[in-house]
Amino acid sequence: MSKKKNIRTKKKISKSKDNINVPNNIKTFKVKVILFFTSILFIALIARIFFLQIIDGNRLQTLATSNQTLTETLLAKRGTIFDSTGQVVLAISYDTDKIYISPSDIKDENKEIVAQGIATILEIDYNELFSKLTSNNSKFVVATNVEQEKVDSLKNWEKTLKKNSKITTGLSYENTSSRFYPHNSLASTVIGFVGTDNHGLYGIEASWDSFLSGTPGKSVSLKDAKQSEIANSEQSYIAAENGYNINLTIDANIQSIVEKYLAEAVSNYKCESGITIAMNPSNGKILAMADYPNYNCNDHNTPNSYLAQTWDSLSSEDKLTSLFRMWAPKAVTDTYEPGSVFKIITSSIALEENIIDTDVVTFNCTGSYLIEGENKPIHCHSKVPHGAQTLRQALENSCNPSFIDLGLRIGAQRSYKYYEAFGFFGKTGISLSGEPKSGIFYDIDKINQHELGTLSFGQRFNITPLQMITAACAIANDGVLLQPQIVDKITNVDTGEVTTFAPKEVCQVLSKETADSVASMMESVVKDGTGKLVKDGSPEMAGYSIGGKTGTSEPIYGSTDGYIASYLAISPVENTQIVLLVILDTPGEGVNHNGGQIAAPTAGKMLKEILPYMGVESGNKEDNNSNSNIQIDDLY
């Protein structure tokens, strides 16, 4: 019995073991599944880490660095523009702020208070500002070029408002730089102006922008999640390179004198416009360059007095075109018919080629000149024939028939050779943009005798005023042509290094003997010819040695152009220190349009003040002992 019981017991035990093994198998399977997926996840994680660290590591590192880096641009200060004396500032930069506002940072019930406070301090339109604050605008500019005094007032008001009323304003500030022109319109077409990005758009500001603008620097440091700089973190710093200061060749006092009398002449003679250039022939330096009407560099988008007359009737496109023209330095960019002033060029060629002498009777003016093969003669400006004349007398009388005769003797080939040498077929090289590639002349292979005749007395071709005075300066400079110069020197304000620009000789156009002969004849034009009114009977001018030549170019028949009256003066005749060209465009109806009548006295008024200021000696001892102490504030 006992043995059977044992057997039965073993069986039960055995049965009991079988029942336990089933759930253990299930657990083992689950473990294997978990281990399998864990392995898969682990492998994926390893693969992801490998991708992030090895394959995409460089990109992520760069991204992380950029997110942790605070980079600030350090503005370069734009260079200052001075006149030739270095005492008169023509353009200067100063620090200002640009102010932004974020409407979303301001509670709706506070927007009226914020708008009222900002508008009052910045002196801007409240209604416009409030409208923007209550619209769906995101962050926008409230004001630019804000002076430091207003910025300080705004920040103090903002601080008080937040402290007392718990009101946030949504304001933020950006340091910027603004350009200011202390003398407003003085030499405006020469100086130009800058755009909103503080880069030059016209004049010297544009042509010399790469020197004036400088190079911005930057500061790089680490930042936290709030975009604040982390204290004691490493910082790299690249200093800004400030722009160069520029000294022009223009003398602000001479420029002021020229502008004063040019504006007076345009007004008195009801002209559409006027141009004047003063130049030192011995070094090519421009002493003054003026347009009238000009414009205010500080308010360059406002039309000048001439443009304002028709402004409201212009289309948007025409307004923009008119502004472009207003801004241009027209002494450099515009062309005109020089008229009888050009006779000094014709005389120079004839003398240099030994075709004629100055004081040998060569011409006989009958009142007109009939070119062979033509039916209609070209008339002299004088109603009374000049009769027998020397070259000197023909220049004194500005006799067209005599110069037609002379031009035909010279011929096209020789004329064009000298035109090229004088610089009429190319740019002068002045460092102002907008200069045309060449004067406008007849094709040498197609020119006829009539056209050659009109060329001799300065009509039916076009050159720039700058080309004309540059050629005249060659005559006043012993026959040597120099490149006109508008910038005297530049200064690196960071290092103090100064770069000066020496006169640049182009070529020897004439012999000294020829140049002296032409200058002598120009002096005769003032003493005995059409150029007398440059002295205008003034006792102060009587002692000065002045040479001159009048010019009056008439419009082509049927055109809407008007007359152009001009006058070219040199002083002193020997060792000339100044060449002056005055151009008056389209004198008004009823006004004498002859250069000798209106341009000559205008040039005389200018020289009456300029010559003493320059220390040019006159024949009057009293005048020599009382050199002018003219100051720009007295003139402008």
CA dist., res. 294 & res. 289, Å (int)? 11
Number of domains in the chain: 3
Is residue 362 located within the same domain as residue 483? yes
CA dist., res. 510 & res. 385, Å (int)? 32
- Residues 38, 46 contacting (CB under 8 angstroms): no
In a domain, 510, yes or no: yes
As a whole number of Å, the CA-based R_g of the chain is: 40
CA dist., res. 593 & res. 269, Å (int)? 9
Find the CATH number of the domain harbouring 407.
3.40.710.10
- The two three-digit tokens of residue 147, written as one number: 């002076």
Q: Give start and end residues of each alpha helix (H) in 51-79.
A: 57-68
Is residue 490 located within the same domain as residue 444? yes
- Residues 101, 142 contacting (CB under 8 angstroms): yes
Residues of the domain holding 154:
95-180
Could you give the 3-state DSSP secondary structure of residue 576? coil
In 399-538, DSSP assigns E strands to 480-482, 487-491, 498-500, 505-508
Long-range contacts for 84-88 (Cβ within 8 Å, ≥24 apart)? 84/247, 84/248, 84/249, 84/250, 84/251, 84/285, 84/287, 84/488, 85/251, 85/252, 85/253, 86/247, 88/183, 88/252, 88/632
Is residue 159 located within the same domain as residue 297? no
Is residue 107 located within the same domain as residue 64? no
CA dist., res. 567 & res. 265, Å (int)? 13
Read off φ and ψ for residue 236, nearest 5 degrees. Answer: -110, 145
473: which residues sit within 8 A by CB, 6+ positions away?
Answer: 279, 281, 284, 481, 482, 484, 579
Parallel, antiparallel or unpaired: strands 81-82 and 245-248: parallel
In a domain, 196, yes or no: no
Angle at 514 between CA 617 and CA 342, to 5 degrees: 85
CA dist., res. 425 & res. 444, Å (int)? 12
Q: Which mean pLDDT values do the consecutive 10-residue runs of the chain (636 residues) have?
A: 47 47 67 80 80 70 59 82 97 90 90 92 92 86 87 92 88 88 97 92 97 83 53 67 96 98 97 97 98 96 93 95 96 97 98 98 96 93 95 98 97 98 97 95 95 96 97 98 98 96 97 98 97 90 96 76 95 98 95 96 98 90 49 43
- Residues 229, 219 contacting (CB under 8 angstroms): no
Domain end, chosen from 154, 180, 206, is at 180
CA dist., res. 371 & res. 405, Å (int)? 9
Is residue 45 located within the same domain as residue 124? no
Is residue 566 located within the same domain as residue 516? yes
Is residue 155 located within the same domain as residue 281? no
The single-letter code of the amino acid at 409 is: R
Q: Is 142 exposed, middle or buried (0-12, 13-18, 19+ CB in 10 A)?
A: buried
CA distances to 32, 112, 124 from 536, in Å: 118, 67, 53
Is residue 517 located within the same domain as residue 394? yes
In a domain, 496, yes or no: yes
Is residue 264 located within the same domain as residue 402? yes
CA distances to 336, 425, 462, 464, 467 from 440, in Å: 9, 8, 5, 10, 12
Length of the chain, in residues: 636
In a domain, 245, yes or no: no
In a domain, 75, yes or no: no
Is residue 30 located within the same domain as residue 168? no
Parallel, antiparallel or unpaired: strands 89-101 and 140-146: antiparallel
Q: Is 148 exposed, middle or buried (0-12, 13-18, 19+ CB in 10 A)?
A: exposed
Its pTM stands at 0.83
pLDDT score at 33: 77
Region for 586 from its dihedrals, namely left if φ exceeds 0, alpha if ψ lies in -120 to 50, beta otherwise = left
Is residue 54 located within the same domain as residue 109? no
Is residue 176 located within the same domain as residue 286? no
pLDDT score at 626: 44
Domain end, chosen from 146, 180, 214, is at 180
- Residues 247, 487 contacting (CB under 8 angstroms): yes
pLDDT in tens, 342-375: 999 999 999 999 999 999 999 999 999 999 999 9
In a domain, 104, yes or no: yes
pLDDT score at 3: 47
In a domain, 76, yes or no: no
- Full 3-state SS string of 182-237: CCCCCCHHHHCEECCCCCEEEHHHHHCHHHHCCECEEEEEEECCCCCECCCCCEEE
In a domain, 351, yes or no: yes
CA dist., res. 577 & res. 231, Å (int)? 64
Find the CATH number of the domain harbouring 100.
3.30.70.2110
Domain end, chosen from 49, 68, 87, is at 68
pLDDT score at 176: 83
